[in-house]
Amino acid sequence: MDINLLVLNIGNSRLAVGAFSRGQLEYSTRIPLAQRADWTGKIAEAWSRIAEFDDAEIAAAAVNAPMIESVEHAVHQATGKSVQWVGRDIDLPIKVLTEDPSKTGVDRILNIAAAYEQMGKACVVVDAGTAITIDCCNDQGAFLGGAIAAGVGICLDGLHQRAAALPRVELQTPAQIFGLSTQQAILNGIHHGVRGMVKELVENYATELGHWPDIIATGGDAAKLFEGWEMVHAIAPDLTLYGIALAYAEHHIKHRT
């Protein structure tokens, strides 16, 4: 579907903004939620890529409900238009098999939907952001659920705050296997700890599925954690934005609007 669509995703720490022109993602950016003064300008910049199209619309998803009203206000200031929200105005694009789909993070569902749309088979999405989620779908594209763990930033902050001798370290790919300093040892622990968790979970998912699923990584820390790792099929920074666009397109095809 050649949609012209502004998409927004409200995460726990950042607002992601993208513009799809004739079905292609032409622009994306991320703004920290704390930098609220920058929202309107960035949204206006994205909107300018598609404002010429009569059918241009706006769709969004959020896991951070307290930010919704502020984002809607910024969108109206920048575009004069209202927002269609996935899960409220727009149907979820895949079947969700969790105990209570309404309480399952919409970003997790959209990530899996976008990955399955590309892969066409069972797959796993690892989203390495404020939290780390490792979710799976089956060969029919149904969301099976997954795991949620503390993100890298939370872990690094916790080590610094709870252990008197440990410094706050910024995430980077470890340079060597043996940590020869405290900083290097922390990086090794975090980096290989996350990879080990992903490997263990995906092995268990594969046992349940009966075959090995491809792994797609997304989120702000994905590149530093997974770049070059043979277990990860691809790193897709804009996966959630594609999921929002997919949900919008399928909803309007389904309802013929």
Count of beta carbons in the 10 Å neighbourhood of residue 212: 14
Three-state SS at 23:
coil
Q: Are 137 and 116 within 8 A, CB to CB?
A: yes
CA dihedral sign of residues 48, 53, 54, 60: negative
Residues annotated as catalytic (active site), given as ranges: 107
* Backbone angles phi and psi of 38, in degrees to 5: -90, -10
Q: Are 215 and 202 within 8 A, CB to CB?
A: yes
- Beta pairing partners, 84: 59
User: What are the structure tokens assigned to 40, written together?
Assistant: 């309107």
